[in-house]
Chains A and B, each alone.
Chain A
Amino acid sequence: MTALNSVRLVGGRVSFRLHARSLWVSGLLLVITAGALVAALVLGDYHVPLDDAVRAVFGESTRMAELFVERRRLPRALTAVLVGIAMGVAGAVFQSLTRNPLGSPDIVGFGHGAATGAVVVLLLVGGGTTQTAVGAFVGGLVSAAVVYLLALKGGAHGYRLVLVGIGVSAMLIAFNNYLVTRADLDDARAATVWIVGSLYERRWPEAALMAVALLVLLPAVLALSRTLSVLDIGDEGATALGVRVERSRLALIVTAVGLTAVATACAGPVAFVSLVAPQVSRRLTGSAGPGLLPAGLLGGVLLLVSDIVAQQITSPGELPVGVVTGAVGGAYLGWLLLREWRSGRG
């Protein structure tokens, strides 16, 4: 890779070189996130001038600026970033764990289970936003637990985990579709919006919940990520190197599912983030490892930018962010593949 060669460091040790590039990419992603955050505060149906917006965040400002920026746009934008980080990291863990580029928390039936929980609450119980979030949280965790336990027989081998996940997911999808076809049209639309994933009306409680979840779970995942690289070489090899394979795998699954669970409760299963973020960040950093941090930051950028676009393209009203994430993320991944091919590296 040509871009990789340009990063030359004294000593020239490969691991060090890749690491440096990851840091560089992470820094860039942080800058983009900051820029997008500012844009998210200013843009909207009601335009707030930049200086008013900044003053609303850090002190006193006009009443309208306070109302729009501090109460609505800032918490929503922060929720977007934090949900994106959680999903990106979780996706990187699952792709590394299953050694499969199509791996995501959906492997253990998480997204579809969460959708089932939410759709049941929306259509059968008739609950509001909070109840729906709780339903999603519980539904996702229960499906993940069921998949893990069903795959556990004689060690939850990665491959069997994937296959059991496929089976359970299929039943959940069918059940979700059944409920949606039998509901009246308004309920069907509400359920569809939820399944796509939306950040509409997300305020400080969601942002705070995400922040707490990341503070607790992110250090745990990062601490476990060393084992993740070892698990990459296969169960036998990892055991030989002294890693307790089954325990490490369970710990990683639990933390990654935890991240996804909170993120899904806040924004719905914006499924594509966890698929695309690790793939794109891997291409940007040129790193072979799990690359959790860049994947997380990329997820944050992707979701925040998508949410800004989602609010802008149809006005009044807005598209759910999941629609834009799929379009933007998919198109970007496609473009990356095309570029690799053109430059003869693919």
Chain B
Amino acid sequence: MLSRSVGLLLCLVALMGFAVLSIAVGARSVPLSTVFEALWSSDGSYDALVVAQQRVPRTVLGILVGAALGLAGALMQALTRNPLADPGLLGVNSGAAAAVVSAISFLGLTSPLEYVWFAFGGAAAAALVVYGLGSSGRAGGPVRLALAGTAISAVLVAYTFAVQLVDDKALDQFRFWIVGGLAGRDLDVLVRVGPMLVLGLVVGLLLARPLNVIALGDETGRALGASLGTVRLSAAASITLLCGAATAAAGPFSFIGLTVPHIARSLVGADQRWVLPFSAVLAPCLLLGADVVGRVVLPPSELEAGLVTAFLGAPVFIALVRGRKVAQL
């Protein structure tokens, strides 16, 4: 108990370190003293503007998006009891992608800032259909939900590919969006998706105890007084908010939601009261770290955070999986 609290505290400290790095490091080198001053008061210089209007919102967005993806992944795996479940399984990523590719191709939108509401709308609509299909009926169990997600995602992915292959312009823009990244996301995006992310985080973290009960199995859970339907619905709503908003803001990062919960479980066991917060703190560390590395590794261009996340995160993940006895779901 104590060691896990200390661990969580250490992760939070690490996250703060990554946040400082993310504000201080960038393609344009700004002296640390200027960074520090710009945080409190702007002297109107260009450097100060870069820090206040680009780096700080980008960092805050990185923390929120990372936390959202990590928590959404942990919730999804708890909900479906399936280690292969990423938050995209609810159809969120494919729904967002289908809406974004439609917006590019049919409405001629060109910037990630304009995609935000389309992405979120598509994500929410897809999640609604998947959840409706997957959880209805008497035995709307984890397998059904996973299959419904697979089925709906397949249709949406097929549509997304079809549009790209018919429309070169869509392919050209979409291939950059799908990678996922924080570049160019400013205060505007943060203002739009921030509230949804915060709401989703609060709801998700409150579900830890009921999810622990559900993990004992449907029958036992019911016997212990858990309202399975309510818990599942709240978890799905929270996942949709978190993942829909995160995808809308930064594109689909499937890797974080898939792996960070496994890392959290390998550290703290299967207790959701620890898995959920650890996932929510570890994931933004990975995302911010990847974002910083992506900014400096190939100057003057940037490597998208979505790519760096996988390249940095996957080896760590594999080493962890090999090294320890993994806590199963």
Contacts and interface: CB of A to CB of B under 8 A. Distances in A.
Interface of A: 100-103, 107, 150-151, 153, 159-160, 162-164, 166-168, 170-171, 173-175, 177-178, 180-181, 185, 188-189, 192-193, 196, 272, 275-276, 279, 314, 319-320, 322-327, 329-331, 333-334, 337-338, 340-341, 344-346
A323 B326 contact: no
Residue among A159, A181, A189, A338 having the largest count of chain B Cβ atoms under 10 Å = A181
A188 B167 CA distance: 13
A315 to B, nearest CB: 13
Contacts of B315: 167, 171
B151 A341 contact: no
A159 B155 CA distance: 28
A341 B154 contact: no
B220 interface: no
B152 A166 contact: no
Contacts of B175: 177, 180-181, 188, 192
B321 to A, nearest CB: 4
Given A150-B322, A327-B154, A346-B138, A189 B310 contact: no
A170 B84 contact: no
A314 B306 CA distance: 34
Nearest to B157: A326
Given A102-B82, A160-B326, A337-B147, A330 B321 contact: no
B259 interface: yes
Interface stretch (B25-33, B129-137, B267-275): B129-137
Contacts of A177: 175, 178-179, 306-307
A189 B84 CA distance: 29
Contacts, number: 172
A319 B304 CA distance: 30
A100 B310 contact: no
A344 B137 CA distance: 6
Interface in B151-176: 151-155, 157-159, 161-162, 164-166, 168, 171-172, 175-176
Given A102-B82, A327-B158, A153 B322 contact: yes
B297 interface: no
A301 B171 CA distance: 30
A326 B158 contact: yes
A323 B171 contact: no
A320 B150 CA distance: 20
A173 B150 contact: no
A164 B259 CA distance: 10
A279 B151 CA distance: 11
A100 B315 CA distance: 24
Nearest to B80: A102
11 contacts: A162-B83, A163-B83, A167-B315, A170-B258, A177-B175, A185-B168, A185-B172, A279-B147, A330-B150, A337-B133, A346-B140
Contact of B321 (A167, A178, A333): A167
A269 to B, nearest CB: 13
B155 A326 contact: yes
Contact of B144 (A185, A189, A325, A337): A337
Interface in B276-315: 303-304, 306-307, 309-311, 313-315
B314 A168 contact: yes
Interface in B245-270: 254-255, 258-259, 262
Contacts of B139: 346
Contact of B255 (A151, A174, A175, A279): A174
B307 A102 contact: no
A11 B307 CA distance: 60
Contacts of B117: none
Contacts of A151: 321-322
B216 interface: no
Contacts of B307: 174-175, 177-178
B51 interface: no
Interface string B80-91: 001111000000
A333 B313 contact: no
A272 B162 CA distance: 15
A331 B133 CA distance: 12
A339 to B, nearest CB: 11
A344 B138 CA distance: 7
A331 B157 CA distance: 12
B328 interface: yes
Contacts of A346: 136-140, 144
B205 interface: no
B206 interface: no
A181 B259 CA distance: 24
B21 interface: no
B143 interface: yes
